[in-house]
């Protein structure tokens, strides 16, 4: 079944502001919340669909790609693909990630604990570990063909001594006397409008519902310890400088159980000694001597894969662009491959010997040496402006 348009899912037009997107998602999430629609599979699916739409439209980078390429533009970026809401995120993940948005509708605290009953309150309190952000440098060749990487990072992992509980044994974990195990502290305030009830995480147990009487000696009751871990992942071909890849569940573990954070991989491009990147195209400036430009020559130029031979025709002018199709970089979403653009630059010598000066003096008055650009060459700068506009 084809996915619905994300703007349609949230009931928005394509010019909606960030605040309008947030409000529309909040409205849909409250409308289809599982505790408001118990046992309704259709409502649950719409709840997840709204979360997926908001995940894309609330992120400027994802929204730009979606507006340009549709669903194909955000595949693998957390929109229904691996790690996306449509690809296996639990309800707890959604509450953990976007719960603050629900809270705004009720002035903070635990909105579902007061609006839809206690069961949602426990969902709202699911802990999520922090994300870890790293930078990975890639050569142009790795960008062109993709790369498999292995990184070693220090991260918070569940304590193996207490299995992440933070207590020596189960008997050392007691029901919190303040919240009676709900993890929610409810406050009733009397106002001129009547009684107002609000809920927030219990201050004694921090919303866990239990207190530890005998903490683990290894993790000191935290339930997590710092350990090194090697993480393997694949980087798709065609990525760009500053692009961020999300490796779900590979971030820090939360204290005493919950949902792991993510590993965020930020792409850095290593500069190439001879080639420059312009989107999906690569640029190489080829300097020719006056003699080479006048006589023509077969020359080697660098490419991502090594060297390529090109034929420089006699009489070539500075500013001419030779295009080697398909020798650039692939689009990260699979929309073709760029070209290698060879910019011709005729080098004028800065110093001349006496013999060279005499030789050029004899040639400068020759009709063939008089500048005589054709119409195409006269419009060179106009063409350049159109190329990069």
Where exactly are the structural domains of the chain?
1-126, 128-155+228-270, 276-388
Alpha-carbon separation of residue 52 from 3, 41, 73, 193 (angstroms): 11, 17, 14, 38
Decide if domain 128-155+228-270 falls under CATH 3.40.50.720: no
Asked whether the domain spanning 276-388 has the same topology as the one spanning 128-155+228-270, the reply is yes
Confidence of residue 101 (pLDDT cuts 50, 70, 90): low
Q: What percent of the chain has pLDDT over 90?
A: 39
Work out the average pLDDT over 126-155: 92
DSSP helix/strand/coil, 133: strand
Question: What integer pLDDT is reported at residue 295 of this predicted model?
Answer: 92
Alpha carbon distance 31, 34 (integer Å)? 9
Q: Tell me the per-residue pLDDT of 295-314, one tens digit each, with 9 for 90 and over.
A: 999 999 999 989 999 999 99
Decide if domain 276-388 falls under CATH 1.10.1660.10: no
Question: What integer pLDDT is reported at residue 338 of this predicted model?
Answer: 94
More confident residue, 77 or 263: 263
Per-residue pLDDT at 31 exceeds 60: yes
- Pick from 84-88, 128-132, 339-343, 361-365: least confident: 84-88
Helix 18-31 and helix 91-104, axial crossing angle in degrees, nearest 10: 120
Q: Tell me the per-residue pLDDT of 183-229, one tens digit each, with 9 for 90 and over.
A: 888 777 776 666 677 778 888 887 788 888 899 999 999 999 999 99
More confident residue, 189 or 139: 139
Which of the listed CATH numbers 3.40.50.2020, 1.10.287.110, 3.90.1660.10, 3.30.9.10 matches domain 1-126? Answer: 1.10.287.110
């Amino acid at each position: 079944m084809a996915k619905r348009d994300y703007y349609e899912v949230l009931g928005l037009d394509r010019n909606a502001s960030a605040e309008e997107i947030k409000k529309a998602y909040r409205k849909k999430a409250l409308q289809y919340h599982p505790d408001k629609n118990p046992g309704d599979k259709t409502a649950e699916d719409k709840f997840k669909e709204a979360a997926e739409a908001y995940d894309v439209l609330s992120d400027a980078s994802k929204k730009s790609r979606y507006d340009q390429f549709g669903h194909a533009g955000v595949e693998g970026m957390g929109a229904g693909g691996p790690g996306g809401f449509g690809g296996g995120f639990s309800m707890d993940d959604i509450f953990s990630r976007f719960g603050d948005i629900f809270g705004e509708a009720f002035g903070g605290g635990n909105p579902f604990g007061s609006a839809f009953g206690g069961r949602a309150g426990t969902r709202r309190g699911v802990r999520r570990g922090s994300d870890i952000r790293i930078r990975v440098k890639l050569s142009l060749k790795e960008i062109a063909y993709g790369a498999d990487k292995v990184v070693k990072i220090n991260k918070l992992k569940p304590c193996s001594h207490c299995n992440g509980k933070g207590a020596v044994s189960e008997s050392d974990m007691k029901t919190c006397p303040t919240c009676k195990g709900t993890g929610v502290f409810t406050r009733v305030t009397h106002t001129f409008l009547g009684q107002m009830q609000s809920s927030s995480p219990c201050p004694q147990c921090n919303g866990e519902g239990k207190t530890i009487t005998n903490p683990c000696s290894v993790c000191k009751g935290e339930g997590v310890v710092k350990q090194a871990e090697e993480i393997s992942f694949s980087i798709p071909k065609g990525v760009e400088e500053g692009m961020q890849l999300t490796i779900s569940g590979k971030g820090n573990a939360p204290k005493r159980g919950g949902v792991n954070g993510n590993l965020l991989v930020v792409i850095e491009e290593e500069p190439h000694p001879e080639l420059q990147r312009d989107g999906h195209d690569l640029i190489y400036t080829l300097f020719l001597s006056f003699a080479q430009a006048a006589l023509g020559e077969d020359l080697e130029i660098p490419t991502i894969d090594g060297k390529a031979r090109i034929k420089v025709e006699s009489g070539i002018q500075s500013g001419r662009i030779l295009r080697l199709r398909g020798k650039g970089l692939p689009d990260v979403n699979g929309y073709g491959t760029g070209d290698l653009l060879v910019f011709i630059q005729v080098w004028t010598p800065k110093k001349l010997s006496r013999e060279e000066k005499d030789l050029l003096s004899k040639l400068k008055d020759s009709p063939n040496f008089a500048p005589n650009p054709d119409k195409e060459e006269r419009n060179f700068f106009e063409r350049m402006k159109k190329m990069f506009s």
